[in-house]
C-alpha cells in the first residue's frame, strides 16, 4: 500500500469526521432548549468540525504535491476567536435576561453587562 492510497484514505476519514462534528453541532443548535445551552453546540463542536475539514484540505494539498501549512492559519484563527465570540454571545444572553441572571451585585454596584447605557449619568464611570 503506497503513501498515495494512505493519504487518500486519510483525506476521506478527515472529511467524514468533520462532517459528523459539523452536523452534530447544528443538531445541538436546533434541538437544545435553552439559550445558554444552545451556545455550547456550534461554538465548540462546529469549530472542531471545521478544523477537521481544514486538516483534510491540507492533507489533500500535500498529496497533490502542492502542500503548505496555510490552512493552519485559518484553523488557529477560528480556534482563537470562537471562545471570544461565545463569550460575547453569552453576555448578550445575560443582558437580554434570556437565561438565569447573575445574583444581585453588592450594594451601590451593578453588573456591567446589565448596565443600560441610556440610563447612565453623563459623568458616570462604570467600568466595562
Our finding on whether 48 is near other proteins (CB under 8 A) is no
Interface with other proteins, residue 93, by CB under 8 A:
yes
Does the protein bind other proteins through residue 101 (CB under 8 A)? no
- Tell me the C-alpha distance between 82 and 42, whole Å: 9
The 3-state secondary structure of the chain reads CCHHHHHHHHHHHHHHHHHHHHHHHHHHHHHCCCHHHHCHHHHHHHHHHHHHHHHHHHHHHHHCCCCCCCHHHHHHHHHHHHHHHHHHHHHHHHHHCCCCCCCCCCCCCCCHHHCCHHHCCCCCCCCC
Q: Which of 44, 61, 62, 111 binds other proteins (CB under 8 A)?
A: 61
Distance in Å, CB of 114 to other proteins, minimum:
10
Q: Is residue 118 involved in binding other proteins (CB under 8 A)? A: yes
Binding site for other proteins (CB under 8 A): 4-5, 8-9, 11-13, 15-16, 18-20, 22-23, 25-27, 29-30, 35, 38-39, 42-43, 46-47, 49-50, 53-54, 56-57, 60-61, 64, 66, 68, 70-71, 73-74, 77-78, 81, 84-85, 88-93, 95-96, 98, 113, 117-118
Amino acid at each position: 500500500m503506497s503513501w498515495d492510497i494512505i493519504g487518500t484514505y486519510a483525506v476521506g476519514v478527515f472529511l467524514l469526521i468533520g462532517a459528523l462534528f459539523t452536523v452534530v453541532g447544528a443538531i445541538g443548535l436546533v434541538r437544545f432548549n435553552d439559550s445558554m445551552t444552545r451556545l455550547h453546540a456550534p461554538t465548540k463542536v462546529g469549530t472542531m468540525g471545521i478544523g477537521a475539514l481544514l486538516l483534510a484540505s491540507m492533507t489533500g494539498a500535500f498529496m497533490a504535491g502542492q502542500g503548505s501549512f496555510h490552512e493552519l492559519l485559518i484553523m488557529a484563527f477560528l480556534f482563537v476567536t470562537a471562545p471570544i465570540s461565545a463569550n460575547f454571545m453569552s453576555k448578550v444572553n445575560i443582558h437580554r435576561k434570556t437565561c438565569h441572571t447573575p445574583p444581585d451585585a453588592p450594594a451601590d454596584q451593578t453588573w456591567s453587562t446589565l448596565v443600560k447605557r441610556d440610563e447612565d449619568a453623563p459623568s458616570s464611570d462604570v467600568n466595562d
